[in-house]
Amino acid sequence: MSHATPAMKAPKTFGLLAEFGSPADVYHAAEKIRDAGYKKWDVHSPFPIHGIETAMGIGDSKLGWIAFFCACAGAFGGFSLQYWIHKHAYPLLIGGKPMVAYPAYVPVTFEPGILFTAFGCLLGMLVLNGLPRLYHPTFKSSNFKKFSDNGFFVSIESKDPRFNVESTRSFLQSIGARNIEVLED
Amino acid sequence: MILHRDDDPTKRPVLVESGDFHEVTQIISAPTETKFNLTWGILLLLSGSLLCLMLGLFGYLFWEGTGVWGVNVPVAWGWAIVNFVWWIGIGHAGTLISAILFLFRQRWRTAINRFSEAMTIFAVMCAGVFPAFHVGRVWVVYYIFPLPNQMSAWPNTRSPLFWDVFAVSTYFTVSVLFWYMGLIPDLATLRDRSVSKIRQMAYGIFALGWRGSARHWQNYERAYLILAAISTPLVLSVHSIVSFDFAVSKVPGWHTTIFPPYFVAGAVFSGFALVSTLLIIAREVFGLKQVVRLHHLDNMNKFMLLTGSLVGYAYAMELFIAWYSGSIYERFAFYHRALGDYWWAYASMVTCNVVIPQLFWFKKIRHSIPITFIITIFINIGMWFERFVIVITLHADFLPSSWGYYKPTWVDIWTYVGTFGLFGTFFLLFLKFLPQLAIAEVKGVMPEANPHHAHTAHH
């Protein structure tokens, strides 16, 4: 996060945390924050809010590409393993079947493809999200615990070029936020 | 993924009448936070004892050899494979409910998906122990995997038994990943609600620092969608491959092309039956009646009626093709199945799987919880007999001098009973320590979760 200036020692402001009343409120707030030109900010909710990515103006997930790459790697690996075993490593004649009996290779091509994709999805999701990360400045707020129950939050980071504690606070107030807190890094 | 919903309250997937997110959190977290539930304790004690019994019997088999089971030539597969196929079949509803119903946007799945995913994982564990010990020398069971070894020997990857190893182990792994992925946001909920340090640490570590970020949810939903999309062909492939263990052989009664779809239908059938059985018990014990509604059970009963009828069709078609093929071996195999030494198994199978589920045509029966419970038990028994009938076809093989009457030994019987202990122990631990329903998903399908809901409702 904050390896920018090693000289700084004093606790730095991470940003502002603000609460909203409902999925609809946070959705409309997100539209306004997007239109105000903020970039380093986030919405926190107990469940994914439909269409929030449009309201926030963030692009599409790259996860599909990771999954696709893993699927190809798994399937290729599965097929190659079988080809290598029968053609080179251990050519065992069974029932007069050809060594490269590719229709019989289908199951063990398909299954590793699926297996690798599944790992790609979970691990890819974690890598893209920067998880696991057991500590985060938002966790310092006791009010933030509600995010996993019925709370809807917006956090705006101080790294955002438009960020200013006072003006951002009053902007958040003007769009209906409550319980606005300053988060220390 | 948030599904498209309309705000008509009569069509709510509905879980909680008040439409309050906090109440959903409360209801679902409650079983993990209450001190001690006596019924749960007694059930755990019982399951734990059966688990010890199973471990003891596997220990005995380890010491003595596979001869303690009733398997012999020509019935070399016996109860071990019957139980394996039965348990793995049960494990199919989990992924079906999770993945296929998810892709078809069936919102009611949120009431049962976590539950059935857990059931899948534990059922596959129960299934796995049988072939592992059936190989004879369980201490070298790793030979089934293609691992480099000092003999430079490799498995024959053109064999259905090898495909089975890949199918079952992939299925288990993917099911675990899918389940865990769904759990991450809910573990964060339990972490944030915890009052003790230990709970907070335990749930916190597995929640991986989840903070409900919209940017994270976006990747999360995409990953979940892809997992659902790949699990659907996976679940169909797994039981198809299990059926290849039989269908690719040249044994009359096994060598049939109907096996893959017939096995898949049967697996879904038995899986739904066991989900129902367990759900009916759990909603009584843990007071989840507000969340698991009658119409969820009704939907599952309709699925059982459909798949039960498909299975019935498969039985009829097998008999027809055996006659129509004109092969005397094929005809004998089926004649002997239905009217031979094991006629009682065939009759039980048809009664439990084809006749009894037809009662689900009646709405009164679908809506009666005690009757549903009894029917699901019949289905579970019937599906066990189906696998028994198939495996036991071996007892009258090509050589009449080797024909005999296969009987299980006491070790066979009690090992099978013991696997219920394995299943029960894990399942009860799951019920107590993890959220039984997907908290985030249940909230996500409530009309109040729609960001455009407030306008239509309050203005």
> Can you tell me the ipTM of this complex?
0.89
Query: Of A129, A140, A143, A144, which to mutate for an interface test with B (greatest number of B Cβ within 10 Å)?
Result: A129
What would the mean pLDDT of B122-142 be, rounded to a whole number? 90
For chain B, the farthest-separated pair of C-alpha atoms sits apart, in whole angstroms, at: 84
Residue B136 tokens, joined? 């004879």
Residue B41's region, left for phi above 0, alpha for psi from -120 to 50, else beta, is alpha
Is A4 contained in some domain?
no
A70 and A119 both lie in a single domain? yes
> Is A138 in contact with B444 (Cβ distance < 8 A)?
no
Residue B1 pLDDT greater than 50, yes or no: no
pLDDT score of A49: 87
A19 and A109 both lie in a single domain? no
Query: Of B164, B172, B211, B224, which to mutate for an interface test with A (greatest number of A Cβ within 10 Å)?
Result: B211
A156 and A99 both lie in a single domain? no
Nearest to A114 among B25, B163, B170 (CB): B170
Is A7 contained in some domain?
no
Is A39 contained in some domain?
yes
A143 and A180 both lie in a single domain? yes
Bridge partners (DSSP) of residue B374 are none
Contacts of A141 in chain B (CB under 8 A): none
Number of domains, chain A: 2
Query: Of B206, B213, B224, B450, which to mutate for an interface test with A (greatest number of A Cβ within 10 Å)?
Result: B213
> Closest approach of chain B CAs to the CA of A39, in angstroms?
12
Contact indicator for B274, B93 with CB cutoff of 8 Å: yes
> Is A46 in contact with B204 (Cβ distance < 8 A)?
no
Q: Which of A128, A154, A173 is the last residue of a domain?
A: A128
> Closest approach of chain A CAs to the CA of B309, in angstroms?
29
A138 and A83 both lie in a single domain? no
> Is A85 in contact with B20 (Cβ distance < 8 A)?
no
> Is B448 in contact with A94 (Cβ distance < 8 A)?
no
Which letter does DSSP use for residue A51 in this model?
T
- pLDDT tens digits for B38-72? 888 999 999 999 999 999 999 999 999 888 998 88
What would the mean pLDDT of B253-269 be, rounded to a whole number? 90
Judge if pTM exceeds 0.90: no
> Closest approach of chain B CAs to the CA of A19, in angstroms?
13
Return the percentage of chain B with pLDDT > 90, whole number: 44
> Is A45 in contact with B212 (Cβ distance < 8 A)?
yes
Q: In the sheet that A41-44 helps form, which strands lie side by side, from edge to edge? A: A41-44, A152-157, A13-20, A178-184
Contacts of B213 in chain A (CB under 8 A): 42-44, 129
A52 and A99 both lie in a single domain? no
Is A25 contained in some domain?
yes
Residue A58 tokens, joined? 């963030």
Nearest to B192 among A119, A122, A145 (CB): A145
Is A35 contained in some domain?
yes
Domain hosting residue A168, numbered range: 14-58+133-184
A170 and A85 both lie in a single domain? no
Is A90 contained in some domain?
yes
A106 and A54 both lie in a single domain? no
- pLDDT tens digits for B206-247? 999 898 888 899 999 999 999 989 988 998 899 899 999 999
A73 and A117 both lie in a single domain? yes
**What chain B residue is nearest to A82 in terms of C-alpha separation?**
B157
Is A77 contained in some domain?
yes
A54 and A68 both lie in a single domain? no
- pLDDT tens digits for A94-104? 888 888 888 99
A69 and A112 both lie in a single domain? yes
A92 and A73 both lie in a single domain? yes
Is A100 contained in some domain?
yes
* Burial (0-12, 13-18, 19+ Cβ within 10 Å), B22: middle
Q: Is the peptide bond before A46 cis (omega within 30 degrees of 0)?
A: no
pLDDT score of B3: 36
